[in-house]
């Protein structure tokens, strides 16, 4: 069984585009059991991955709540139309099934006063990334920069602090991927749940703002949390390049091994970013997951590999959702 920290299949379906990485029939064949299916409201200006490094991209414009709420409703309808089940509890994950965690990537669809949060929970929302890489009413994300650290701006707003507390109350997972470092430490101070980065990597191996420092990794470990290793080439490679050609699966393994050595085997999972980023050419997409597991399996026994593929995610979800 493979549980994954992040994919953007819903956005591609909403745009009327075919999947690049996540054919669901092929996913079932290779044992992909689902994970976090993002509802991501795109910025007004198109986002393109940087072609080379160094780079420093400006913040995209913020998206007003009313617009974000309307688009999120449309994205939710697309997710509900997919041939997958929606996760309301950990027990919904089963071998041979694909189960989707409803995840907001960026909290713009949530009203500033949180008046619609319960409604979203009732619809199945079980995970929120406070931000994508732009500012909103709750926090500020990291702009895409390389080489650069994640300490790029202010922390959570008062509304953001209230949102974290409300998520703790409802047992909604709070995702710190895309959040800047000051916001990360605010979440760490406030939350009573494990700290989770659904799709991020090790900053020491790839100095992108989107990756996590050793100090952040230690805090995630100490909270009982998890990092889902992101397959995006520009967050894997030491040089920050986004070229899929010539980028091997071993780059994913490099981050997995570092995180395991730093945090321990219980705190590392997969966070592919399928359909949302350029992934190594050797991987290709979901069909390449067996090759990835074969490659990293040279270092880990079956019990350790099971933790990376699904058991760590299930443990953290159980601890968070209750």
DSSP collapsed to 3 states, 50-105 = CCCCCEECCCCCCCCHHHHHHHHHHHHHHHHHCCCEECCCHHHCCCCCCEEEEEEE
What pLDDT sits at residue 38?
98
What pLDDT sits at residue 250?
97
Domain boundaries, the chain: 2-321
C-alpha closest to that of 24 among 71, 85, 70: 85
> For 2-321, which CATH class?
alpha beta
What pLDDT sits at residue 50?
82
Check if the beta carbon of residue 276 is closer than 8 Å to that of residue 6: yes
Taking the CA atoms of the chain, what radius of gyration do you get in angstroms? 18
Check if the beta carbon of residue 269 is closer than 8 Å to that of residue 226: yes
Query: Count of CB atoms within 10 A of residue 294's CB?
Result: 11
Distance CA 92, CA 173 (A): 16
> Which pair of tokens denotes residue 166?
């409300």
Check if the beta carbon of residue 20 is closer than 8 Å to that of residue 12: yes
- Its pTM stands at 0.97
Check if the beta carbon of residue 24 is closer than 8 Å to that of residue 83: yes
Check if the beta carbon of residue 76 is closer than 8 Å to that of residue 39: yes
Place of tokens 């990334």: 129
What pLDDT sits at residue 52?
83
Please give the chain's pLDDT, 322 residues, in tens: 999 999 999 999 999 999 999 999 999 999 999 999 999 999 998 788 887 899 999 989 999 999 999 999 999 999 999 999 999 999 999 999 999 999 999 999 999 999 999 999 999 999 999 999 999 999 999 999 999 999 999 999 999 999 999 999 999 999 999 999 999 999 999 999 999 999 999 999 999 999 999 999 999 999 999 999 999 999 999 999 999 889 999 999 999 999 999 999 999 999 999 999 999 999 999 999 999 999 999 999 999 999 999 999 999 999 999 9
What pLDDT sits at residue 47?
80
Asked if residue 262 has a cis previous peptide bond (ω within 30° of 0), the answer is no
Distance CA 285, CA 210 (A): 21
Check if the beta carbon of residue 229 is closer than 8 Å to that of residue 270: yes
What pLDDT sits at residue 48?
81
* SS3 state of residue 241: coil
How far separated are the first and last CA of the chain, in Å rounded? 22
Task: Classify burial at 78, counting beta carbons within 10 Å of its beta carbon; exposed 0-12, middle 13-18, buried 19 or more.
Answer: middle
């Amino acid at each position: 069984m493979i549980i994954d920290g992040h994919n953007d299949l819903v956005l591609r379906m909403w745009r009327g585009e075919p999947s690049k990485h996540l054919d669901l029939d092929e996913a079932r064949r290779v044992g992909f059991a689902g994970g976090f299916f993002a509802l991501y409201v795109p910025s007004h200006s198109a986002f393109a991955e940087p072609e080379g490094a160094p780079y420093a991209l400006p913040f995209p414009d913020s998206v007003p709540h009313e617009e974000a709420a309307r688009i999120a409703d449309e994205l939710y309808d697309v997710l509900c139309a997919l041939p997958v089940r929606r996760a309301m509890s950990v027990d919904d994950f089963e071998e041979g099934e694909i189960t989707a965690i409803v995840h907001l990537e960026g909290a713009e669809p949530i009203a500033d006063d949180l008046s619609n949060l319960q409604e979203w929970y009732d619809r199945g929302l079980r995970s929120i990334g406070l931000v994508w890489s732009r500012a909103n009413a709750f926090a500020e994300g990291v702009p895409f920069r390389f080489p650069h650290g994640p300490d790029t701006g202010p922390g959570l707003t008062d509304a953001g602090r209230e949102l974290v507390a409300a998520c703790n109350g409802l047992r909604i997972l709070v995702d710190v991927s895309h959040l800047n470092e000051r916001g990360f430490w605010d979440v760490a101070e406030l939350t009573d749940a494990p700290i989770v980065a659904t799709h991020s990597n090790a900053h020491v191996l790839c100095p992108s703002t989107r990756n996590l420092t050793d100090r952040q990794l230690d805090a995630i470990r100490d909270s009982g949390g998890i990092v889902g290793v992101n397959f995006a080439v520009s967050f894997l490679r030491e040089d920050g390049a986004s070229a899929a050609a010539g980028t091997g699966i071993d780059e994913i393994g490099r981050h997995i091994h570092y995180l395991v050595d730093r945090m321990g085997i219980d705190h590392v999972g997969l966070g592919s970013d399928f359909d949302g980023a350029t992934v190594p050419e050797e991987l290709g997409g979901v069909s390449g997951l067996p090759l990835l597991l074969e490659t990293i399996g040279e270092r880990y026994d079956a019990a350790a590999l099971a933790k990376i593929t699904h058991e760590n995610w299930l443990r953290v979800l159980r601890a968070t959702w209750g």
